[in-house]
């Protein structure tokens, strides 16, 4: 069984440092061979590429632009009437991904409109999501990039996020039916929404292109106190021969470096 591959989410880790390029260097010094990030569009692309090349890091994942965060946006892929903005954001994400040789883009679904009843708008939002994903599949397949959709829990993190469970995501993936669109499995969100992690991982791993981890409920390091036994889940993923990246998307309890004992132990045990 091949060891698991971990990447540092530099939107969450190494935030003691203000610049993404500084965080990339810190991740490389800590032993990571890859990084991921949410929104890097305010950073200098040329500088990101220079540091990537100097450190030898792989860029594993970026997100599509969120839209207008101040106005309450958190992605546009499932938001009716915003299709053109989604396509413009996708084009920007592809430009960054190609420059950084990043092979995965999280296509953020977005939120149910404020004041709207989720059940009343669900079908229209799903139809919009499917059509935008089919468009994205055509764009991304030409570039050799994988598009990912990520269920985000509505119990703690974001009550209005449209895509909230792996079961809902699986239905949408079946409607899109394209190999360039897959699921992003965030263990933190899955545990909060559904639990039953072992069976859900077994069921949905074949349609998964990326995994992210954090302990529940406080979203700290995987070895912090919480509901999830990550030693068990890591063994399960090894047994299932998962070979893509696992993103470390958690809030360090203290400094990032002080909280990396868990991954250092894993690397040492799998040399």
Active site residue ranges: 150, 249
Crossing angle of the two packed helices 197-204 and 230-239, in degrees rounded to 10:
30
Rounded CA separation 58/257 (Å): 20
Using the structure block, give the residue that is written with the tokens 């540091």: 51
Question: What letter would DSSP give residue 78?
Answer: T
Whether cis (ω within 30° of 0) applies to the bond prior to 151 is: no
Contact (CB, 8 A) for 154 and 114 = no
The SS3 of residue 16 is: coil
Rounded CA separation 92/8 (Å): 23
- Closest Cα partner for 258 from 221, 207, 205, 219? 221
Contact (CB, 8 A) for 134 and 176 = yes
Rounded CA separation 245/254 (Å): 24
Contact (CB, 8 A) for 100 and 58 = no
The four Cα atoms 175, 176, 180, 186 give a dihedral, to 10 degrees, of -60
Question: Which residues partner with 117 through β-bridges?
Answer: none
Residue 246 CA neighbour count, 13 Å, CB half: 21
């Amino acid at each position: 069984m091949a060891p698991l591959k971990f990447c540092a989410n530099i939107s969450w880790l190494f935030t003691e440092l203000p610049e993404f390029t500084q965080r990339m260097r810190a991740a490389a010094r800590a032993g990571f061979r890859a990084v991921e990030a949410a929104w890097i569009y305010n950073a200098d692309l040329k500088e990101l590429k220079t540091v990537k090349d100097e450190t030898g890091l792989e860029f594993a994942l970026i997100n599509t632009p969120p839209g207008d965060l101040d106005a309450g946006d958190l992605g546009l892929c499932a938001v009716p009437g915003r299709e053109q903005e989604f396509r413009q954001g996708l084009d920007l994400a592809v430009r960054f991904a190609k420059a950084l040789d990043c092979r995965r883009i999280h296509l953020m679904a977005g939120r149910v409109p404020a004041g709207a009843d989720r059940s009343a708008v669900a079908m229209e939002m799903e139809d919009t999501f499917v059509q935008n994903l089919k468009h994205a599949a055509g764009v991304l397949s030409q570039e050799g990039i994988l598009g990912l959709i990520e269920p985000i829990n509505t119990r703690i993190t974001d009550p209005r996020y449209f895509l909230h469970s792996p079961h809902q995501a699986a239905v949408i993936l079946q409607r899109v039916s394209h190999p360039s669109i897959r699921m992003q499995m965030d263990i933190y969100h899955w545990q909060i929404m559904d639990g039953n992690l072992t069976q859900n991982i077994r069921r949905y791993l074949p349609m998964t292109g990326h995994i992210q981890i954090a302990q529940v409920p406080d979203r700290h390091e995987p070895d912090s106190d919480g509901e999830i036994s990550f030693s068990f889940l890591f063994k399960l993923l090894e047994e299932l021969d998962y070979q893509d990246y696992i993103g470390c998307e958690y809030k360090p309890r203290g400094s990032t470096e002080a909280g990396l004992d868990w991954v250092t132990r894993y690397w040492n045990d799998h040399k």
